[in-house]
Structure 1
Amino acid sequence: MTDTSNSLQDLGTLTGAPSAQPVKSVEPKIDAQGRAYGTGRRKEAVARVWIKPGSGKIIINGRDQETYFARPVLRMVIAQPLIEAGRATEFDVIATVKGSGLMGQAGAVRHGISRALVAYEPGLRAVLKPFGFMTRDPRVVERKKYGKAKARRSFQFSKR
C-alpha cells in the first residue's frame, strides 16, 4: 500500500478525483420597476405575471381577482403559491391571461405566480417545488381521431 494518502489535502491532488466546484448562487431577476416576471401555462391558457412588493393585491386583466375569478375555488388556486411561500400579503400581483376557460386560466396564473416568486426570491424554489407549483401541467385535450365520433368515443354500432 504505497499509494495511500496521509491527509485530506492529498486527496484533492490525486488523479481522477473530481475537483471541487463552487456552488453557483442564483441572482434574483428584478426589472427597473422592482418587478419580477413569470410566464404560466395550463391547457391552452397563457398567463403573463408580474409581482412587486406591496400589500397582497391581485389584479387579473385589469380587474380585481374577486371580479375576474368569482368562484372561491379559483381564487384559492391562484393564492396557493403565495400562501405556501408565506408571502400572501407581501406582493402585489398583476397578471394578463388569455385562452382556455376559467379553470385553465387560474392554473396558468398559479404557475406564473410561482415562477415570478422564484425569479424574485430564488430560495423559494425549494419551498414551491414539492407542491408541484413549478411544474407545467402537461394534461391537454386529446385530439379527435378519424373514424371516431370524438377522441375515443366510437359511432353507435348497429348489428343489423
Structure 2
Amino acid sequence: MDLDLLSRQLMDRFQHAMPLCPEPYKAMATALGYDEAQVLACLHAMDQAGTLSRVGAVFDHRRAGASTLAAFAVPATRLHQVAERVSQYPEVNHNYAREHFYNLWFVVTGPDRPHIQRVLNELEKDTGLTPLDLPMLTAYRIDLGFSLGETP
C-alpha cells in the first residue's frame, strides 16, 4: 500500500489524538501545514481506497450506556443479507465477517442492558439466527496504533 506524505502524517499524528475543537479538520491541517480542504480530500481518498475505516471518537461504553460483542453463525449463502440487516440497526456501530463457525461479529450499544437485549431479540426474530452474546466483564485498553515514522 503506497501512502502519500499527508496520509501518513494524518494517521501517525491523529490516530490517538483527534483535536477536540469546533473545527478539528482545520486544526489538523494547521498542525501539519496544509489547508482544511487538502485534509478533507485526503481523508476522503483514504476512505474510498479502503485505507481508512473510520474517523470518530471511541467512548467508554460503561460511561455512555452499555454494549456487547455479538456474533451469528450465518450460512455462507446468507452472510451478505444478514450483515446488511444487522447494519440497519442504529445500535450496531460495525460488523465484520470472520472465518469461524461464528462468522458475523458485531457490537451493539445502547442506553442500558435491557435495550441491548431487545435489539438482540429483534435480530434473532429478523434473521432466525441465535446471537452469541458476549458482554464485557473486564475492560482492557489495547493500543492498536502503529507509528508510520512521520512525526517525531
User: TM-score per shorter chain, which class?
Assistant: under 0.3
**TM-score, normalised via structure 1 length:** 0.26
TM-score scaled to structure 2, two decimals?
0.27
| Higher helix residue share | 2
